[in-house]
Amino acid sequence: MLLNGANIDKTKLYTLDSLLEYLKENGESDRALSSIREYYFETFGNELIWRYPFSNGIHAGVVIVAVKEGFASLPYDIVDKDEYEIFEIKCATLFNEDALQCFIADWQNFSDDLLSVLNEMVLITKEK
């Protein structure tokens, strides 16, 4: 599998269950993902972990992690200055195609709107 320029041997990925078990044992936070990020980077040349820092309508944001079964959704509602995102492990799931398509559409809408208003801000700032 090729993902974000990295050739991924799926057999070397964590399973969703092993990821959740690791987090339960090491702290259910983004900080606990550090060793998984390091392992993935050493193994694949890519961390294979992405932040989606917008509400999905239920949680404040989600961290996406590549796992053997696909892509894990680790939702969070709290961000701590030391631990970063604190995951709602009981709500962790695998993404399906519809959820990913929804995330893509939401990101695109947010991005388009932000770029538009930033460009308008530049024009307003130039006028002053």
* Residue 54 confidence (pLDDT) above 90: no
Each residue of 55-100: pLDDT tens digit?
A: 878 999 999 999 999 999 999 999 999 999 999 999 999 999 999 9
pLDDT for res 55: 85
pTM to 2 decimals?
A: 0.91
Distance CA 128, CA 121 (A): 11
* Residue 108 confidence (pLDDT) above 80: yes
- Tell me which of 6 and 44 has the higher pLDDT: 44
Dump the DSSP string for 5-25.
Answer: TEE--GGGSPPHHHHHHHHHH
Strands, E assignment, 57-96: 61-67, 70-80, 84-87, 93-94
List the chain domain ranges.
2-95, 96-128
The answer to whether 74 and 65 have CB atoms below 8 angstroms apart is yes
